[in-house]
Amino acid sequence: MSEQYDYDLIVIGAGPVGENVADYAARQSLSVAIIESELVGGECSYWACMPSKALLRSGHALRAAQRLPGASQAITGKLDANAVLARRTQFTSGWKDDGQVKWLDSAGIDLIRGRGQLAGPGKVQVGDQFYTARAVALATGSIPTLPDIKGLAEARPWGTREITSAQQVPDSLIVLGGGVAGTEMALAFASLGSSVTLISRSALLGREEPFVADHVAAGLKEAGVEVRLGAKPTEVHRAQDGTVSLSLDDGSTMQASELVVAAGRTPATLDLGLEALGLDAKLSVDDTMLVAGTDWLYAAGDVNGRALLTHQGKYQARIAGEAIAARLNGAPLETGPWGQHAATADHHAVPRVIFTDPEVAAVGLTEAQAREAGFPVRTVAYDLGNVAGASLHADGYTGRAQLVIDQDQQVILGATFVGQDVAELLHAATIAIVGSVSLDRLWHAVPAYPTMSEIWLRLLEACRQAV
């Protein structure tokens, strides 16, 4: 490190992504500080991935047992909501970050508590303190979007923070937003005993293959969720007793003890000082996560808007941490496609899992995206319920899988699985896409009998038949 800088690298935001940028840079002998205004560990650890999955898991286990004769007879009650909430709280460490702070310490990363703001190239302000570094990485995450609906802000609705940290299960709940967070939380709270209505202005999970929506809507209805599609709220009001009422554009109204808004998220770039540096609030980064128009500023994770997912942000963080270190250490960079310092997978193979019941697991392009990108596309699909492993897994198993294939190259561009417990099927598809494994070679990847992975054999047979 040059004498004139406090650090080689300052990272703003200590969520999963900031932690990993800092870690990967520190492992390459850079001196690193990380700035955090709330809890070290970020949204994912305390108000997003971990608590939401903990809230969902017990319901999944109960329904799985209910689908198995013998096991179902052993179920004599319903979920113990308080026990589920307590397990959720354990996963958030009671919203305390001591463990994560200890880890930062062990990794040799300095923690600066407070809100960071850029004060010039390589200069960061926290309160009335200024710190300098040869490079700065933004990992400030994203903030929830509040739709412009009359009375909504005044009604103080819950967001994903409040629902994932709820201390009690509301008697009734309206969930606004049919995306990933809305569908997951509707299911979690219906399983915990709340009477849930899910309002979506369009089909559920609109970024995935269209067949996904039908399966997930059916699963939600089976779990007791009232799903209202094509419904647009026009006004919201909270009464003195706390009850929330919602008016819809078809003239109907509904009431619930609580309203949760899950209507998407926006990169957290406000108040970072970008404008004063002549930088656009909508950050544009290259595949090393370097912000366009700078040679010192990086942005990884939700804040760059590429893929609002922890695993993909952490992948960007590993790439960015090593690219920053290579640049500062004067080492050569490998920035070509699939090089050590290029987040190439962001463009081809982003895995997504939606933890509803049925689960959704998808990677790469949907059929519509592949066609839009100009690929010569063919799709093959198969009913997962007809696979021996799936029918053993649960009685009455329903599900579907689809591959999107590049007809010229004979490789997979995208894969989608929907069904109980399909998440673990996904990584095989990710490997096939990242490795551009040809369909002819995949034919030799024999799935074990009787596992759900035999869906691969059925899909490959369908590929051969469909030519």
Ligand X SMILES: NC(=O)c1ccc[n+]([C@@H]2O[C@H](COP(=O)([O-])OP(=O)(O)OC[C@H]3O[C@@H](n4cnc5c(N)ncnc54)[C@H](O)[C@@H]3O)[C@@H](O)[C@H]2O)c1
Q: What residues make contact with ligand X under the rule CB under 6 A?
A: 147, 176-182, 184, 200-202, 206, 262-265, 308-309, 353-355
Sheet holding 172-176: strands in order across? 226-229, 195-200, 172-176, 258-261
Q: Are 174 and 148 in contact (CB under 8 A)?
A: no
Please choose which of ligand X, ligand FAD, none residue 38 contacts, taking the beta carbon within 5 to 8 angstroms, the exact cut-off set by kind. Answer: ligand FAD
Smallest separation, CB 386 to ligand FAD (Å) = 29
Query: Residue 178, annotated ligand binder?
Result: yes
In the complex with ligand X, the residue whose CB is nearer, 14 or 181, is 181
Please choose which of ligand FAD, ligand X, none residue 67 contacts, taking the beta carbon within 5 to 8 angstroms, the exact cut-off set by kind. Answer: none
Helices (H) and strands (E) in the chain, counts: 15, 21
Smallest separation, CB 43 to ligand FAD (Å) = 3
**Residues 119-157: b if buried by 16+ CB within 10 A, e if exposed:** beebbbbbeeeebbbbbbbbbbbbebeebebebbeebeb
Helix axes 98-106 and 16-26, enclosed angle (nearest 10): 20
In the complex with ligand FAD, the residue whose CB is nearer, 53 or 232, is 53
Residue 36 contacts ligand FAD per CB under 6 A: yes
DSSP E strands in 185-291: the ranges are 195-200, 226-229, 233-238, 244-248, 253-256, 258-261, 265-267
Smallest separation, CB 180 to ligand X (Å) = 4
Q: Which of 10, 22, 42, 429 binds ligand FAD (CB under 6 A)?
A: 42
In the complex with ligand X, the residue whose CB is nearer, 265 or 400, is 265
Smallest separation, CB 183 to ligand X (Å) = 8
Residue 44 contacts ligand FAD per CB under 6 A: yes
State phi, psi for 437 to the nearest 5 degrees: -70, 125
Q: Are 404 and 415 in contact (CB under 8 A)?
A: yes
Count residues near ligand FAD (CB under 6 A).
37
> What is the three-class DSSP state of 83?
helix
> What is the three-class DSSP state of 258?
strand
Please choose which of ligand X, ligand FAD, none residue 35 contacts, taking the beta carbon within 5 to 8 angstroms, the exact cut-off set by kind. Answer: ligand FAD
Query: Residue 97, annotated ligand binder?
Result: no
> In which residue are the tokens 């960015």 written?
320
DSSP letter, residue 446? P
Residue 9 contacts ligand FAD per CB under 6 A: no
x/- binding map, residues 241-280, to ligand FAD, per CB under 6 A? Answer: ---------------------------x---x--------
In the complex with ligand FAD, the residue whose CB is nearer, 116 or 170, is 116
Smallest separation, CB 190 to ligand X (Å) = 16
Query: Residue 434, annotated ligand binder?
Result: no
| Separation between Cα atoms, residue 228 and residue 185, nearest integer Å | 15
Residue 208 contacts ligand FAD per CB under 6 A: no
Site for ligand FAD in 373-432 (CB under 6 A): none
Residue nearest ligand X by beta-carbon distance: 179
Structure tokens at 47: 């108000």
Residue 313 contacts ligand FAD per CB under 6 A: yes
In the complex with ligand FAD, the residue whose CB is nearer, 49 or 152, is 49
Query: Residue 141, annotated ligand binder?
Result: yes
Residue 57 contacts ligand FAD per CB under 6 A: no
Residue 316 contacts ligand FAD per CB under 6 A: no
Structure tokens at 120: 């010039």
Which amino acid, 40?
A: V
Residue 250's Cβ-side half-sphere holds a number of Cα atoms within 13 Å equal to: 9
**Residues 48-66: b if buried by 16+ CB within 10 A, e if exposed:** bbbbbbbbbbbbbeebbee
CA angle 266, 290, 8 (to 5 degrees): 110
By CB under 6 A, which span of 133-141, 218-226, 327-335, 431-439 interacts with ligand FAD?
133-141
Residues near ligand FAD (CB under 6 A): 12-18, 35-38, 42-44, 48-49, 52-53, 115-116, 139-142, 160, 164, 181, 268, 272, 301-303, 308-311, 313
Binding residues: 53, 116, 140-142, 177-184, 264, 302
Q: Which residues are annotated as a binding site for NAD(+)?
A: 177-184, 264
